[in-house]
Amino acid sequence: MRLDKFIGHATDLSRVQIHVLIKQGAITVNSVTAQKGAQQVGESDLITLNGEPVLLAKNRYLMLHKPSGYVCANSDSEHPTVLDLIDEPNKQNLQIAGRLDIDTTGLVLITDDGQWNHRVTSPRSQCKKVYRATTVAPMTAETVALFAAGIQLHGEKKLTEPAHLDVIDEHMALVTISEGKYHQVKRMFAATGNRVVTLHRERIGEIHLDPSLPSGKYRALTQTEIETI
């Protein structure tokens, strides 16, 4: 890999800034002052910037407790995004694995591992998502049966995959789905003549939202959590 590309991946520095630092003699490769950004480097090379080692970051796997009012996008001209809550280098390389609506709160997974992201979001993975929903009208045994059978959503050709509705009280339930259609939970309730008031995602696959994680904060996933996907 080119030296300037290596440093660019490992830091927030632009290529122009890197070339200036090379000219200033601030970058070394194996204790030798670098002369060109095009110099080829490998994993075994020791690269320093102002005397400090520069290391390529490993893939990042983050759990974010999303607050209301943030959109799940890398950039948005009208609203703050979930990446605005992330303090990480090169965060433009991060991907949002499973998006939530602007007013939906709870668990969001963020990574720069594209294959892992695909396993989270691909319908083939059947990665179940669990939401806590509150509704305007009471939920009945008929609602539970409709969710279990699959619901015909407006504009969709096929029924949704069977969903599990665990009613906590008549206005609150845990909803488990294995798909990720646009506004799916809200649309499913709307199809039964009900309306969602609040929606909070508690789990994706076997990854549960950390109860100690405040709204708007994030943490790295544990290796065990990563390997469940």
Active-site residue set: 101
* Extended strands (E) in 2-128: 27-29, 32-33, 47-49, 52-53, 61-66, 95-97, 105-111
Neighbours of 16 (CB within 10 A): 9
Gyration radius (Cα) of the chain, Å: 23
> 32-38: which pairs have CB atoms within 8 A and are 24 or more residues apart?
34/3, 36/3, 37/2, 37/3, 37/4, 38/2, 38/3, 38/4
List CB contacts of 73: < 8 A, sequence separation 6 or more: 81, 82, 83, 96, 99
